[in-house]
Amino acid sequence: MATRSTRSTKPSRPAPRTSGGRETGGGRATGKIVAAANGHAGSAKPAPKFKHAETGTLEGVWDYAPAPETVKVKIDAQYGHYIDGRFRPASKGGTFVTINPATEQPLAKLALGTAEDVDAAVASAQRALPAWSALPASERGKLLFRIARRIQERARELAVLETIDGGKPIKESRDVDIPLAAQHFFYHAGWADKLQYVFPGRTPRPVGVCGQIIPWNFPLLMAAWKLAPALACGNTCVLKPAETTSLTALRLAEIFDECGLPPGVVNIVTGAGETGAAIVNHPGINKIAFTGSTEVGKKIAMAVAATDKKLTLELGGKSANIVFDDASIDQAVEGIIEGIYFNQGHVCCAGSRLFVQEGIAAEVTRKLKVRLASLRVGDPLDKNTDVGAINSREQLSKIEGYLRIGQSEGATLCQAGRSPLPKTGYYCQPCFFTGVQPSHTIAREEIFGPVLAVMTFRTPEEALLRANNSPYGLAAGVWTDKGSKILEMARKLEAGVVWLNTYNKFDAASPFGGFKESGFGREGGVAGLRSYVEL
Ligand code: NDP
């Protein structure tokens, strides 16, 4: 695992599977006529005009100018662990390389955390705990508030760094990840001195040292989800970011320094799965908070079972997005697109199983195809890119494996995109499958990519049965005009979050978490505070 980010110098992606005239990564519409057939703006040839088969609109006439992000972010050649308020190299000197998945170029060397490094981080968190937990709660709140403000002040830098390190479109880092990360610190700053009102009649006390292990899909946001409530409740932390996306967590450490967070209150150890396992197994840790795959979550649950550590697990999903025939179809299509192609589908609650009522299935898939064709896949740093790079070569191979399995099991693949994929970097054309049976692998397993399985149903009862027929239970979406149907479905769906006539909406005040193999415990809101206090 430690070498995952380093095996990356050769392009692994097969040749682009689609062809077309439009260049990827556009920007504002320029109004210039573009010769779509050869891709040269202002060509002497007349611009080809043709009617889109589905929409009847003129295609190939208008295109977008590139809109590259202009802010340059400084990235050091090498980063150490952040322990006891300062950066230090790995105890055994081990390093690994983090790369830009959009270009496959190395970005920086990071310290490879060993059991000794974890030991040092836990010792530092233990030392810091008495003073931090004894600090007047309003002072803790002030510090969290200051961190939130500093994240806002450095938002653009953080957004660019997140996109370079992880591959997500800059418009998502800029408009979703970073503002939400700041919001989590703001929200929890407010609770720090009001915990007695959250737990009336009780005396909330910190749990102690929290080991927090986060994934690569929302790196800074996941760090904020974990750290903000823990700190508000007076705990100290040892955080391990994912191997492929550690840079924004390390930048957050700089922000902690700037804001005057006492040394040792937050420690960040970079590394691989083994580093995470060392945190899980460390006897000095009082609580583990993990977000990641169900497979690793199960291992952690077993490791923690025989100890008195508290545990919360936010794991995988195969969430159902259900569209009834009385829904506003255009609105639902937007929700389907948002549900599965946001962040390249690297979203634990992605609406990856679409259930459409039979009578509107043909219309929905037709409209979906048209909308899919309009998504711009390419350079994540271009402000008009809708779908960026897949986070790693491993993840791309995994997704491509599922595309092959889906077809070999009899489903029909639709890749409507007409943007050619960039020649270097890890890219996947967003797509959906029709003709999917509930027993198909692509309908059961979490793909974690821009791949949607479309299925149909006839009655609300059948929709419920099919949606709940999954080992997962993280989220669901329901699209209907009828309020009573909405309430009935929300009550009966086995999912921690149910979005109604919308999808993928997040707020620090709203608890998030799963049922069944999607984990247990909640993050965000008042419910999220519970796992960071002893009562
Ligand atoms: P993992 O569950 O392996 O990784 C999540 C975090 O746990 C990372 O920081 C990882 O480190 C760490 N980790 C890995 N192994 C251990 C271990 N034994 N003990 C403690 N910590 C560990 O997810 P992957 O990154 O490998 O992704 C695999 C699949 O998981 C994806 O394809 C996707 O399906 C799913 N996934 C789901 C997520 C969700 O939010 N539900 C998030 C991420 C992935 P490192 O990164 O260094 O390996």
Alpha-carbon gap, residue 156 to 159, rounded angstroms: 5
Does residue 26 surpass a pLDDT of 60? no
Q: Angle, to 10 degrees, between the axis of helix 178-191 and the axis of helix 137-153?
A: 170
Per-residue pLDDT at 521: 94
Among all residues, which ones are annotated catalytic? 314, 348
pLDDT tens, position by position, 380-428: 999 999 999 999 999 999 999 999 999 999 999 999 887 789 999 999 9
Per-residue pLDDT at 60: 56
Radius of gyration of the chain (CA): 23
Does residue 372 surpass a pLDDT of 50? yes
Alpha-carbon gap, residue 389 to 531, rounded angstroms: 35
Supply φ then ψ for residue 210, to 5 degrees.
Answer: -105, 125
Of the listed ranges 18-22, 135-139, 262-266, the least confidently predicted one is 18-22
Does residue 123 surpass a pLDDT of 80? yes
Of the listed ranges 34-43, 103-112, 295-304, the least confidently predicted one is 34-43
Per-residue pLDDT at 52: 56
Q: Average pLDDT in the 134-163 region?
A: 98
CATH topology of domain 320-508: Aldehyde Dehydrogenase; Chain A, domain 2 (3.40.309)
24 pLDDT tier (thresholds 50, 70, 90): very low
Q: What is 241-272 written as a DSSP string?
A: --TT--HHHHHHHHHHHHHTPPTTSEEE----
Per-residue pLDDT at 64: 81
Q: Where are the beta strands (DSSP E) in 81-176?
A: 81-83, 86-88, 95-100, 105-111
Q: How far, in Å, is the centroid of ligand 1 from the Cα of 296? A: 6
Per-residue pLDDT at 9: 33
Strand pairing report for 40-41 and 431-434: unpaired
Q: How far, in Å, is the centroid of ligand 1 from the Cα of 118? A: 18
DSSP annotation of 395: H
Give span(s): CATH 3.40.605.10, the chain.
81-315+518-534
Per-residue pLDDT at 419: 74
Containing H/E element for 149?
Answer: helix 137-153
Q: Please, what sign has the CA dihedral across residues 240, 243, 244, 248? A: positive
pLDDT tens, position by position, 495-532: 999 999 999 999 999 999 999 999 999 999 999 999 99
Does residue 95 surpass a pLDDT of 50? yes
Alpha-carbon gap, residue 467 to 487, rounded angstroms: 16
In testing the pocket of ligand 1, which one of 296, 392, 399, 518 has its CB within 8 Å of the most ligand atoms? 296
> Residues 395-429, buried b or exposed e (16+ Cβ, 10 A)?
bbeebbebbeebeebebebbbbbbbbbbeebbbbb
In sequence order, what are the beta bridge partners of 43? none
Per-residue pLDDT at 205: 97
Alpha-carbon gap, residue 297 to 305, rounded angstroms: 12
Q: For the domain 81-315+518-534, what is the CATH code? A: 3.40.605.10
Alpha-carbon gap, residue 349 to 360, rounded angstroms: 24
Per-residue pLDDT at 183: 98
Q: Whose CA is nearest to atom 12 of ligand 1?
A: 273
Q: Please, what sign has the CA dihedral across residues 54, 55, 57, 61? A: negative
Q: How far, in Å, is the centroid of ligand 1 from the Cα of 462? A: 33
Q: Whose CA is nearest to atom 21 of ligand 1?
A: 276
Q: How far, in Å, is the centroid of ligand 1 from the Cα of 121? A: 21
Q: Which residues surround ligand 1 with Cβ inside 6 Å?
A: 1, 213-217, 240, 242-243, 272-273, 276-277, 280, 291-293, 296, 299-300, 315-316, 348, 395, 398, 446, 448
Per-residue pLDDT at 56: 53
Task: Give the position, in ligand 1's atom list, of the atom nearest the Cα of 241.
Answer: 9
Question: The pTM is what?
Answer: 0.89
Q: Whose CA is nearest to atom 15 of ligand 1?
A: 273
Q: How far, in Å, is the centroid of ligand 1 from the Cα of 183? A: 25
Higher pLDDT, 40 or 508: 508
Q: Average pLDDT in the 440-464 region?
A: 98
Q: How far, in Å, is the centroid of ligand 1 from the Cα of 358? A: 37
Does residue 6 surpass a pLDDT of 50? no
Q: How far, in Å, is the centroid of ligand 1 from the Cα of 271? A: 12
Per-residue pLDDT at 63: 74
Q: Please, what sign has the CA dihedral across residues 494, 496, 499, 503? A: negative
pLDDT tens, position by position, 258-313: 999 999 999 999 999 999 999 999 999 999 999 999 999 999 999 999 999 999 99
Q: Average pLDDT in the 125-133 region?
A: 98
Structure tokens at 328: 């506003």
Task: Give the position, in ligand 1's atom list, of the atom nearest the Cα of 272.
Answer: 47
Of the listed ranges 21-25, 47-51, 127-131, 135-139, the least confidently predicted one is 21-25
Residue with tokens 């699209």: 479
Does residue 33 surpass a pLDDT of 70? no
93 pLDDT tier (thresholds 50, 70, 90): confident
Q: What is the dihedral of CA 444, 168, 3, 9, to 10 degrees?
A: 110
In testing the pocket of ligand 1, which one of 213, 298, 523 has its CB within 8 Å of the most ligand atoms? 213
Task: Give the position, in ligand 1's atom list, of the atom nearest the Cα of 271.
Answer: 47
Q: Whose CA is nearest to atom 30 of ligand 1?
A: 293
Give span(s): CATH 3.40.309.10, the chain.
320-508
Task: Give the position, in ligand 1's atom list, of the atom nearest the Cα of 216.
Answer: 43
Q: Tell me the residue type at 358.
A: E
Percent above pLDDT 90 for the chain: 86
In testing the pocket of ligand 1, which one of 212, 279, 290, 293 has its CB within 8 Å of the most ligand atoms? 293
Per-residue pLDDT at 16: 34
Q: Whose CA is nearest to atom 14 of ligand 1?
A: 273
pLDDT tens, position by position, 161-213: 999 999 999 999 999 999 999 999 999 999 999 999 999 999 999 999 999 99
Does residue 42 surpass a pLDDT of 50? no
Per-residue pLDDT at 23: 32
Per-residue pLDDT at 54: 55
Per-residue pLDDT at 351: 98
Per-residue pLDDT at 51: 57
49 pLDDT tier (thresholds 50, 70, 90): low
